[in-house]
C-alpha cells in the first residue's frame, strides 16, 4: 500500500512558488487499478513524480508524507519505506511507464542491453546474462510479443510496439506498484486498446497495483477500478469507476463526464468555459468556484474538505456536504 498524507509539492521558480499539488491525501491499495484523471496542469504528473519518489529541485515536498508499506513474502513482516528511500526500490517494488515516445529509450543501445542496464553489475553476474535475457524473451512471448525485439534498436520499432516493450520491461520484475503516466496518449485508438488490454491482463495475473494517469476519461472507463479526480492541484473526488461515471458528485467531475460522447446521443458536447486558476497564487476558497454552476459566495471563501459522503466515495465540495440540498444538473434542467 502507498499512503499519501497531506502532501504538498511545490516548485521554486523565478516568478515565485508554484503550488502544483496542495494537501492531497489518499491511499493506493494492493491489487487495484487506480486512475488519476484531470486536465493538463492539474498536478497529476507532479503527483506521480512524488509518488514514484523522484522529488528533485526545483520541486520539493513542502509538507506531508508518502510512504510505501510492503509485506515481506517470506516472514510476513511489514516494512514502511519513506519517500526519500523509494529510489532504492525502483524496478523492484516500483516501476514506471512513461508516455509513448521515441525518446525514452537510448537510441544507440539495443533493447536487450537497456534491459540488462536495469540490473546492477553484481546482479547480472549473480543471475547470468543469458539467464536474464532468456527469461525476458520468455516473458515477451507470454505477452505475445516477438522475442527478437530484444536485438533491435528503439527506432526500429513502431510506436505501438515500442510502448508494449516498455510495458513488458516495466512489469517483468513483478513490481508491487506500477505508475503509468499517460501510457496511451499519442498512440492511435486501436493500439491504445491493445495496450490497455495488455495492462489489465498483466494486473490481473500479477495482482499488483497500477496507477493510470490520463486526461482521457475513456481510458479510465476501460480499465480502472477506482478513480481520483484532480483539479488545480487538489483532489476533488475519489470513487469507484462505475460510480464516478454513473453518479459523479463533484461539479467538475460531472462536467468531465458530460463532455464524453455517448452512443446514440447526438446532442452537441458541452465543454467547460474558463480556465483553471494560476497555481502561483491559488484562490482562497474552492479552486473550481469561478467555473462552477453550483458555486455561491461562500465557495470562493472557504476551502472545501475531501469528505467521505458515501462508503468509498470522497468529494470535496461545499455544496455536496451533508446538509446541503443535492441538486444535480438534470434536476437543474441543464442536462
Residues within the interface to another protein (CB under 8 A): 14, 52, 54, 57, 90-92, 95-96, 98, 101, 103-109, 114, 117-120, 153, 155, 169-170
Cβ proximity to another protein, 161 vs 329, nearer residue? 161
Cβ proximity to another protein, 170 vs 292, nearer residue? 170
Kindly state the smallest distance separating residue 90's Cβ from another protein, in Å: 4
Cβ proximity to another protein, 36 vs 179, nearer residue? 179
Using the structure block, give the residue that is written with the C-alpha cell 536485438. Answer: 151
**Structural contact between residues 222 and 189, judged by C-beta atoms closer than 8 angstroms:** no
Kindly state the smallest distance separating residue 269's Cβ from another protein, in Å: 33
What is the secondary structure of 9-36 as a DSSP string? EEEEETTEEEEEEEEEEEEE-TT-EEEE
What is the secondary structure of 36-47 as a DSSP string? EE--TTSSHHHH
Using the structure block, give the residue that is written with the C-alpha cell 486536465. Answer: 39
Cβ proximity to another protein, 170 vs 249, nearer residue? 170
Kindly state the smallest distance separating residue 106's Cβ from another protein, in Å: 5
Kindly state the smallest distance separating residue 99's Cβ from another protein, in Å: 9
**Structural contact between residues 181 and 97, judged by C-beta atoms closer than 8 angstroms:** yes
Kindly state the smallest distance separating residue 113's Cβ from another protein, in Å: 8
**Structural contact between residues 77 and 268, judged by C-beta atoms closer than 8 angstroms:** no
156: three-class secondary structure by DSSP: helix
Distance CA 208, CA 244 (A): 23
Cβ proximity to another protein, 163 vs 253, nearer residue? 163
Amino acid at each position: 500500500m502507498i499512503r499519501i498524507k497531506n502532501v504538498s509539492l511545490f516548485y521554486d521558480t523565478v516568478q515565485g512558488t508554484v503550488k502544483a499539488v496542495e494537501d492531497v491525501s489518499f491511499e493506493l491499495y494492493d491489487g487495484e487499478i487506480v486512475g488519476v484523471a484531470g486536465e493538463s496542469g492539474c498536478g497529476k504528473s507532479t503527483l506521480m513524480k512524488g509518488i514514484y519518489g523522484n522529488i528533485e529541485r526545483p520541486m520539493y515536498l513542502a509538507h506531508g508524507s508518502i510512504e510505501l508499506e510492503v509485506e515481506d513474502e517470506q516472514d510476513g513482516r511489514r516494512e514502511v519505506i519513506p519517500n526519500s528511500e523509494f529510489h532504492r526500490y525502483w524496478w523492484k517494488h516500483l516501476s514506471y511507464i512513461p508516455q509513448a515516445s521515441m525518446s525514452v529509450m537510448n537510441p544507440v543501445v539495443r533493447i536487450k542491453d537497456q534491459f540488462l542496464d536495469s540490473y546492477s553489475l553484481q546482479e547480472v553476474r549473480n543471475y547470468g546474462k543469458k539467464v536474464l535475457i532468456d527469461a525476458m524473451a520468455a516473458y515477451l512471448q507470454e505477452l505475445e510479443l516477438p522475442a527478437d525485439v530484444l536485438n533491435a534498436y528503439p527506432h526500429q520499432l513502431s510506436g505501438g510496439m515500442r510502448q508494449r516493450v516498455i510495458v513488458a520491461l516495466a512489469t517483468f520484475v513483478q513490481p508491487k506498484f506500477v505508475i503509468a503516466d499517460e501510457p496511451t496518449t499519442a498512440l492511435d485508438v486501436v493500439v491504445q486498446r491493445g495496450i490497455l488490454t495488455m495492462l489489465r491482463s498483466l494486473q490481473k495475473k500479477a495482482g499488483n497495483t497500477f496507477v493510470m494517469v490520463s486526461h482521457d476519461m475513456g481510458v479510465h472507463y476501460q480499465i480502472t477500478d477506482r478513480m481520483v479526480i484532480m483539479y488545480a492541484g487538489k483532489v476533488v473526488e475519489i470513487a469507484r469507476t462505475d460510480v464516478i461515471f454513473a453518479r459523479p458528485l463533484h461539479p467538475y467531475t460531472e462536467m468531465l463526464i458530460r463532455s464524453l460522447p455517448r452512443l446514440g446521443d447526438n446532442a452537441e458536447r458541452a465543454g467547460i468555459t474558463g480556465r483553471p486558476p494560476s497555481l502561483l497564487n491559488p484562490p482562497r476558497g474552492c479552486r473550481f468556484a469561478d467555473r462552477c454552476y453550483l458555486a455561491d459566495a461562500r465557495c470562493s471563501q472557504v476551502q472545501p474538505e475531501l469528505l467521505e459522503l458515501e462508503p468509498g466515495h470522497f468529494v470535496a465540495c461545499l455544496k455536496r456536504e451533508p446538509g446541503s440540498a443535492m441538486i444535480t444538473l438534470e434536476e437543474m434542467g441543464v442536462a
